[in-house]
Amino acid sequence: MKKIITYGTFDLLHYGHINLLKRAKELGDYLIVGLSTEEFNQIKGKKCYFTYEERKKLIESIRYVDLVIPEVSWEQKINDIINFQVNVFVIGDDWKGKFDYLEDYCEVVYLPRTPEISSTKIKNELGLIRD
């Protein structure tokens, strides 16, 4: 069984997220999603509309996702890859090069983002972010 892992906040879930998860699942048999906790999002400077538990329910309901785990730190990725026997780490190409160090543990794939949509764009258009 080929296992894939990806990570994200997945707040304001949209079709770009679904595209990423679908393409990630196409790379293997079992997709694990590391979902950023509220505490980790605070460290990253992100504020979510939905709680961790609400976001977890949303992600678990997507047919491409087999398992959702909490993402609590940047450093946990290596342990997750080892503990879950992951074959491929997948992330959006806006992170290109940032996770190359994981190539010592598994294949690293940077998938192109869906260019016309993002959570930031949605928040901007709804007036939720002010410059």
Neighbours of 68 (CB within 10 A): 20
Domains and CATH numbers, the chain: 3-125 (3.40.50.620)
Rounded to an integer, what distance in angstroms lies between the CA atom of residue 112 and that of residue 68? Answer: 22
Question: Considering 2, 44, 47, 57, which one is annotated as catalytic?
Answer: 44
pTM above 0.85, yes or no: yes
Reply yes or no on whether 46 is catalytic: yes
Contact between 68 and 36 (Cβ < 8 Å):
no
Reply yes or no on whether 3 is catalytic: no
pLDDT in tens, 4-50: 999 999 988 878 889 999 999 999 999 999 999 999 999 988 888 89
Rounded to an integer, what distance in angstroms lies between the CA atom of residue 13 and that of residue 84? Answer: 25
The kind and range of the H/E element at 58 are: helix 52-60
- Reading the block at residue 63, the tokens are 């047919």
pLDDT in tens, 57-114: 999 999 999 999 999 999 999 999 999 999 999 999 989 999 999 999 999 999 998 7
